[in-house]
Chains A and B, each alone.
Chain A
Amino acid sequence: MTDAAQSSDVLVAYDGTPLKQQLAKTTRRMKFRALLLTMPLVLFIIVSFVLPIGDMLFRSLHNPTGSNVAPNFAEAIQKWDGEDYPSDDIIKIFVEDLATARKNREVGKTVGNLATRVNYEIPGSRSLFTKTARRAGKITEGPYLDALIKIDKKWENKNVWVTLKRVTRDYTLSFYLAATDRKYDENESIVRADELYRIYLPILWKTIWLSALITFLCFIIAYPVAYLLSTLPLRTSNLLMILVLLPFWTSLLVRTSAWIAMLQKEGILNNVFVYLGFIGDEHRIQMIYNATGTVISMVHILLPFMILPLYSVMKTIPPSYMRAAKSMGASNFLAFRRVYFPQTIPGIAAGVLLVFILAIGYYITPALVGGNDGLLISNLIANHIQRTLNWSLGAALGTILLVVVLVLYWIYNKLVGVDNLKFG
């Protein structure tokens, strides 16, 4: 065998490198170019969206209030093994830190901050700290524990010290425990919260249940309409499609205010009922500012998200299949159940998942028409961020909701694929 025969085995490009290598190089360059086009947006989304959400995750675990207010004590108490009481040296540092913090006016470093933080763990303990801090400066000599107990009997309670040790650690799981209605007891083991304080899990279940109900109602309502749209001639269906798309394009706030006008006690629906004599003037139905209001308006708002995927799947099903089934003796119902319905399942999956994902995180509509009874988990999160300012708890609740949504999004991606998301 000669050299010439060998080199003819390996195809070479114009510059003498093997063609395979050249192809790999070109492919790599093309991949890089495609990636480069998406990079500006990817970087933008990372900065404007991923990092903020990461920040939220971080804050749900990280709460430095304790070590901000009482830095020396935070370090000292970690040496305590939890037996008996902390040594008098540690308590001395605590008293000194309290006295310093009382003079501090910087946001996040006042006694009030620490008191609030401990109050999350032991409800009703706020005054203990403010009261003690007021007198801490006057304690000059030990034994410090006794001096504290003289100020307030509660310092005898070992749980206060155990809690202090816990809240002065910067990283904590206690907000996740609080978000799932659990807490630490005196022995640092996790127990369920007192009956009175169990509020978050019930709201989470209620959110899931209401979202499921809304999704189901959307499905029931959307299916016949999508079927009608998919079977009508194109010109008519395009016209009727506008009736579906107009709500989709109309502002959420407009639709919510429309439902307030429709459903309130002196509203249009009640007026119509009274006018027609279905109900007496004094028996007007309360349809808003409760769960009913939330469900009705959210079904209306989310309906297009169910109709559109169903429609796009139904449009691809040839009508001849149903005729074939019937010609072979199937009844209308059997032909529908065995031939038509199974073919619409991809559309159902897409619509159901999308509506459920959107419903579970809804905030505006429940906040406006939900009253107390129709509130969802998002409203609690917003409440903690804006009103009670328990940011870590809000972040923990948000993280739990985020995990639920991301799992659903992952399923959606597997079943439907984000590429198939379309509007109109």
Chain B
Amino acid sequence: MPISQRIKTPGFYALLAATVLFLMFTRSIGGTFGFFLLFGIPLFCMTPLPPYASQGEKIWQYAYLATCTIIFLFLILPILIIIPLSFNAEPYFSFTEGMMRLDPEAYSFRWYADIFRFGMTAPDAVEGWWTDMWNNATWIRAFRNSFFLAIASTALATFLGTLAALGLSRPEMPYRSAITSLLISPMIVPLVITATGMFFFYGGTMQGVIPGYPDGLAKTYLGLVLAHTTLGVPFVIITVTATLSGFDRSLIRASQSMGANGFTTFFKVIMPLILPGMISGALFAFITSLDEVVAVIFMADVDQRTIPRQMFSGLREQISPTILAVATILVLMSIMLLTTVELLRRRSEKLRGLSPG
């Protein structure tokens, strides 16, 4: 339907009338504009109903679309709103008047600079700035810890998880559901319970068990990597098993009939086909580790604080917009990861001939 026709509907006139009423009631131009957009979008999106549809059905469909618009805004707005907030020139978690007027003075990069400067011994020094920043800046250390933990635990979780998923997806696998439930359970059991158990076991019971770790695994990177691997494994299992469920097992027999051994079959036949699933699973494990904070709260030392741990204490102790700057970086990173996973999913579906494109 062309736009001119879409505008000449009773619903559109009703919206105009409601907007005028809204303007008279609140006397704010910006608010009225928002109101018009909020209720105009669903109106614009309304699909033409069959001619026999009653007026009531049209109103019902409009109300339904308006509700959905509001829900989508509820989902996405809080995440997007922190991006402009992180450029605040004032140390507040709220828009200042200058920001509302789009005054360039009210915006600044100071909180992004603060990511590098906070915790440095001499933030204004010229000589040795880089080493000082790399070694002492609190947030930089948190980024380093987070990425080290995430990469190490993702590698371990993907390796073990893929191996187990290969076994679980074989038709002859015994005790499949029991073992699957066990391997998924780290995702289901509340993190506080897992972290409490690990705190007791790694920190107390394991004292003196592992050579080189006389005080157990609490406050060590090894303990944290183990914890994060455990929490990431369910995601790898779920994603890789899902990919393998659409896998044509006769390909394995075909490869074997041509004389390939187990390794060749895996690397030349199975892996190229399940690679998208493996990468998705690895990305899930990566983001889980990057986002995990409870185990870190319970087990990590001050030096081992990760990004979310640092945000947690920041939100509890001194709320500063630096948190919003870090959050913005994390949002951009999750957008990138999400795009990758979506592309992989489509590729995997195309490979298996499941998707129209």
CB A259 to nearest CB in B, in angstroms, measures 6
Residues of B within 8 A of A423 (CB): 235, 238-239, 284
Beyond A361-B193, A418-B180, whether A228 also contacts B68 by CB under 8 A is yes
A-chain residues with CB within 8 Å of residue B28 when the two chains form the complex: 275-277
Does B197 reach chain A (CB closer than 8 Å)? yes
A421 partner residues in chain B, CB cutoff 8 A: 184, 238
Nearest residue (CB) in B for A250 is B334
Asked if A418 contacts B95 (CB within 8 A), the reply is no
- Distance to closest chain B CB from A388 (angstroms): 14
Complex partner residue of B293 from A244, A249, A253, A300, CB under 8 angstroms: A253
Q: Which of A324-363 contact B (CB under 8 A)?
A: 332, 357, 360-363
Contact with B along A231-274 (1 / 0, CB 8 A): 00010001010111111011111111111111010111001100
Interface check B85, CB cutoff 8 A: yes
Given A276-B31, A382-B192, A398-B197, 6 more A-B residue pairs with CB atoms under 8 Å apart are A33-B167, A42-B164, A49-B194, A250-B330, A251-B290, A253-B327
Question: B39 to nearest A CB, angstroms?
Answer: 15
Does B17 interact with chain A (Cβ within 8 Å)? Answer: no
User: Which of A49, A51, A261, A424 contacts B324, CB < 8 Å?
Assistant: A261
Kindly state the separation between the CA atoms of A116 and B1 in the bound complex, as whole angstroms. 76
**Neighbour of A401 across the interface among B27, B182, B193, B226, CB < 8 A:** B193
Give chain A residues whose Cβ lies under 8 Å from the Cβ of B235: 423
- Nearest to B287 among chain A residues (CB) is A249
Interface residue ranges of A30-70 to B (CB < 8 Å): 30-31, 33-38, 40-42, 44-45, 48-56, 59
B308 and A244 form a contact (CB under 8 A): no
Q: Nearest Cβ in chain A — how far from B208, in angstroms?
A: 15
Q: Which residues of B contact A368 (CB under 8 A)?
A: 312, 315-316
Docked Cα-Cα span, A49 to B192, in Å, equals 13
Neighbouring A residues of B68 by C-beta, 8 Å: 224-225, 228
A391 within 8 A of B: yes
Which residue of chain B has the shortest Cβ distance to A299 in the bound complex? Answer: B74
Contact status A249-B163, CB under 8 Å: no
B238 contacts A221, C-beta separation under 8 Å = no
Task: State whether A418 touches B177 (Cβ < 8 A).
Answer: yes
Q: How far, in angstroms, from A419 to B335 measured CA to CA in the complex?
A: 27
Contact A409–B185 (Cβ < 8 Å): yes
Looking at the complex, which of B7-15, B117-125, B127-135, B336-344 is the stretch in contact with chain A?
B336-344
Given A34-B173, A424-B345, are A249 and B334 also a contact pair (CB < 8 Å)?
A: yes
- Does B3 touch A at the CB level, under 8 Å? no
Assess whether B342 is in contact with A247, with CB atoms less than 8 Å apart: no
In the complex the two chains form, what is the Cα distance from A206 to B327 in whole Å? 31
A266 near B356: Cβ-Cβ < 8 Å: no
Q: Which of B255-291 contact A (CB under 8 A)?
A: 284, 287, 290-291
In the bound complex, how far is the Cα of B229 from the Cα of A27, in angstroms?
Answer: 33
A378 to chain B, nearest CB (A): 4
Binding site for B on A (CB under 8 A): 27, 30-31, 33-38, 40-42, 44-45, 48-56, 59, 221, 224-225, 228, 234, 238, 240, 242-247, 249-262, 264, 266-268, 271-272, 275-277, 300, 303, 332, 357, 360-364, 367-368, 378, 381-382, 385-386, 391, 394-395, 398, 401-402, 405-406, 409, 412-413, 417-419, 421-424
A258 touches B82 (CB 8 A): yes
B147-182 to A contact mask, C-beta < 8 Å, 1/0: 000000000000011011011101011110101111
Residues of B187-212 whose CB lies within 8 A of A: 188-194, 196-202, 204-205
Decide if B82 touches A254 in the complex (CB within 8 Å): yes
Q: Check B327 against A381 for contact (C-beta < 8 Å).
A: no
**Complex Cα spacing A417 to B230, Å:** 21
Contact of B170 among A34, A303, A406 (CB under 8 A): A34
A332 touches B172 (CB 8 A): no
Q: Tell me the bound Cα distance from A249 to B287 in angstroms.
A: 7
| Min distance, Cβ A145 to any Cβ of chain B, angstroms | 37
Cβ-closest 10 pairs across A and B: A361-B190, A37-B167, A52-B197, A52-B201, A41-B164, A38-B167, A258-B78, A378-B192, A249-B334, A56-B197
Question: What are 10 A-B residue pairs whose CB atoms fall within 8 Å in the complex?
Answer: A33-B170, A41-B161, A53-B189, A242-B338, A249-B334, A256-B315, A364-B294, A378-B192, A382-B196, A418-B181
Secondary structure dominating the interface of B: helix
Given contacts A40-B160, A243-B72, A419-B241, contact A45 B183 (CB under 8 A): yes
Interchain CB contact under 8 A, A247 and B76: yes
B82: nearest chain-A partner, CB-CB: A258
Q: Is the CB–CB distance between B173 and A255 below 8 Å?
A: no
Q: Are B229 and A275 in contact (CB under 8 A)?
A: no
Contact of B102 with A by CB under 8 A: no
Instruction: Give Cα A421 to B183, complex, Å.
Output: 13
Interface size on B, as a range, is 35 or more
Partner of A271, one of B78, B94, B161, B327: B94
Which B residues are in CB contact (< 8 Å) with A381? 192-193, 196
The answer to the question of B252 belonging to the interface, with a C-beta cut-off of 8 Å to chain A, is no
Mostly, the A contact residues are: helix
Q: How far is the CA of A160 from the CA of B78 in the complex (A)?
A: 56
CB-nearest residue of chain A relative to B312?
A253
Q: Shortest distance in angstroms between B356's beta carbon and chain A's nearest beta carbon?
A: 7
Please, which residues of chain B bring their CB within 8 A of the CB of A402?
Answer: 189-190, 193
Q: Judge if B75 is at the interface, Cβ distance under 8 Å.
A: yes
Q: Are A391 and B200 in contact, with the CB atoms below 8 A?
A: yes
Q: In the complex, which of the residues A254, A266, A424 has the most CB atoms of chain B within 10 Å of its own CB atom?
A: A254
How far is it, in angstroms, between the C-alpha of A250 and the C-alpha of B77 when the chains are bound? 13
A278 and B142 alpha carbons, distance in the complex (Å): 42
Set of chain B residues within 8 Å of A34, measured between Cβ atoms: 167-168, 170, 172-174
Cβ–Cβ contact B78 & A255, under 8 A: yes
Complex: chain B residue closest to A266, CB-CB? B94
CB-CB under 8 A for A40 and B81, given A49-B185, A363-B192, A382-B192: no
Does B71 interact with chain A (Cβ within 8 Å)? yes
**Contacts A224-B68, A381-B192 hold; do A419 and B180 have CB atoms under 8 A apart?**
yes
B residues less than 8 Å from A303 (CB atoms)? 75
B300 on the interface (CB 8 Å rule)?
no
Question: What is the distance, in angstroms, from A253's C-beta to the closest C-beta of chain B?
Answer: 4
Closest A-chain residue to B327, C-beta based?
A254
A417 to B176, CA, bound (A): 12
Q: Are B82's CB and A257's CB within 8 A? A: yes
In whole angstroms, how far apart are the Cα atoms of A333 and B261 in the complex? 60
B311 CB–A CB distance under 8 Å: yes
Give every chain A residue within 8 A of B335 (Cβ-Cβ): 246, 249
Closest Cβ of chain B to A350, distance in Å, is 13
Tell me if B338 and A261 are in contact (CB < 8 A).
no
Find out whether the CB atom of B167 lies under 8 angstroms from the CB atom of A246: no
- Residue from B67, B93, B161, B293 in contact with A260 in the complex, judged by beta carbons closer than 8 Å: B93
**A242 lies within 8 A of B27 (CB):** no
A398 close to B188 (CB less than 8 A): no
Q: Is B40 an interface residue (CB 8 A)?
A: no
Instruction: Give the distance in Å from the alpha carbon of A255 to the alpha carbon of B293 in the complex.
Output: 14
Among residues of A, the one whose C-beta sits closest to the C-beta of B92 is A266
Q: Which chain B positions have C-beta within 8 A of A258?
A: 78-79, 81-82, 327
